[in-house]
Amino acid sequence: MSLARRTSAEFAGTALLVAAVVGSGIAAARLSPADVGLQLLENAFATALALGALILVFGPVSGAHFNPVVSAVDWWLGRSTRLGLSLAELLAYVAAQVTGAVTGAVLANLMFDLPAVTWSDTPRTGGHLWLAEVVATAGLLLLIVALVRSGRANVAPAAVGAYIGAAYWFTSSTSFANPAVTVGRMFSDTFAGIAPASGPGFIGAQIVGGLVALAAVAWWYPVPRRRPDDMVIPQPAPEGAHP
């Protein structure tokens, strides 16, 4: 697949993921205005199902990262074999993911007859929330790499969707676990939003979570049974390369 095709898949997949997160948050707030717990359940359920479906759709094209931290770990783990993302590809993936996330938030706003862009005024700050983001992101990355390195990448759509759905509930931050999604959710002043001032703290915690995951992978999965690139759905090796 050309880089243009892969980055367009990352853009579209991330846009649809954020549209699912924000859109289901808006729908949940309207359907269950007096019950925040039910709102969160509806939001988590829709997000988990959408994520699994999007990985199935876009995995064979781009690897279905939809997440700058996932792409960065893919680049880091693939450096020695030169089969993961190159640095230039990493930057292209991140740009596609961030712009896709913003587009997805705008799309969700428009689908629910809201202004295209409304900056969120929901503050999400504090050490407990940052710790939750470290845990959520580290767990997500460890899950993905563990599946790939143990030869079980075929179950990633269900496993990743299930993890994110569960992490909505067992983390106090409701598991953003994704810098691009964090940026996108700043553009919607709804149930799923996050105030721009709270974004840097979340993104910093997600980066720390990625580093924690790398340390865990080095200890528990030091030798991959399969190639270390293609974080979610394995793709054909380049001509002449040895898996």
pLDDT digits (tens, 9 = 90+) for 201-226: 999 999 999 999 999 999 999 876 64
What are the angstrom distances between the C-alpha of 90 and each of 33, 65, 93, 162? 41, 11, 5, 26
pLDDT at 228 over 50: no
Structure confidence at residue 238 as a pLDDT band (50, 70, 90): low
Q: Distance between CA 5 and CA 62 in Å, rounded?
A: 8
**Number of other residues whose CB lies within 10 A of the CB of residue 5:** 11
Query: Per the structure block, which two tokens stand in for 145?
Result: 């790499």
Percent with pLDDT over 90 in the chain: 87
pLDDT digits (tens, 9 = 90+) for 6-31: 999 999 999 999 999 999 999 999 99
Domain extents in the chain: 3-220
* Residue found under tokens 């143990």: 150
What are the angstrom distances between the C-alpha of 204 and each of 35, 107, 154, 183, 235? 31, 26, 30, 12, 30
Arithmetic mean of pLDDT, 88-108: 98
3-220 is classed CATH 1.20.1080.10: yes
Residues sharing a CB contact under 8 Å with residue 183, sequence separation 6 or more, in sequence order: 98, 101, 102, 199, 203
Residues sharing a CB contact under 8 Å with residue 1, sequence separation 6 or more, in sequence order: 61, 62, 235
